[in-house]
Amino acid sequence: MEIELKFPLKNPNEAIQILNKLAKQKNQYHQKDTYYAPIHRDFILEKPISEWLRIRETKNKNTFNYKKWHNTAEKNAVSCDEYETEISDINNLKNILKNLNFKQLIIVNKHRINWEYKDTIISIDNIEDLGFFIEIEANKKFENIDKIKEYLYQILRELDIKTGPQDFEGYPYLLLKKRDLL
């Protein structure tokens, strides 16, 4: 299960300076995420969208991933069941999906920088056509989802990073919406 909070950044340069000062930079990389949906069950017809199927391409590893978000009726999901596997031949997988009539929904191009800070992974994402966001994810076990969320909000307040309102929709949804594809 993955638990994460995501917010647009008001001042990405300031956020990066704060994290470079207080946290340990882990890595940075580019990701290309291509999202798909089966023809017989179009994920974007359900509101809010609660499922995503994606191929992620990075320099060192390609993965195939499915997420099923929790609490979708409340439109404030921060946790999901996530299933992921590494793929060795990305072109064959794309051809399989095409031949099974999966349609490509959207491509998300992202440059990500990760830091470790007090049992969290904090990421600054620069999303092509959307801008900068911060994601914070727990990197240890907690008693329950509410305890994890409370801890993540506490860390964000402690860092005093200026953000916009929390995003519960995700990058693919925001891009689909921006491009009038919903």
Residue 92 main-chain phi, psi, to 5 deg: -65, -40
Asked if 109 and 32 touch (Cβ cutoff 8 Å), the reply is yes
Per DSSP bridges, beta strands 2-8 and 79-86 are antiparallel
Who's near 179: CB < 8 A, 6+ residues apart? 106
The CATH number of the domain covering residues in 2-175: 2.40.320.10
Distance from C-alpha of 147 to C-alpha of 144, rounded to nearest angstrom? 5
Q: Which two tokens stand for residue 3?
A: 């638990």
Tokens 């064959």 correspond to: 92
pTM of the model: 0.89
Angle separating helix axes 12-22 and 145-159, nearest 10 degrees: 100
- pLDDT (tens place) for every residue of the chain, 182 residues total: 678 899 999 999 999 999 999 999 999 999 999 999 998 888 888 877 889 999 999 999 999 999 998 865 666 767 788 999 999 999 999 999 999 999 999 999 999 999 999 999 999 999 999 999 999 998 887 778 888 889 999 999 999 999 999 998 899 999 999 999 98
Per DSSP bridges, beta strands 2-8 and 102-117 are unpaired
| Helix (H/G/I), strand (E/B), else coil: 120 | strand
Distance from C-alpha of 5 to C-alpha of 24, rounded to nearest angstrom? 19
Instruction: Return the DSSP state at 128.
Output: T
Residue 67: alpha-carbon gap to chain centroid: 10
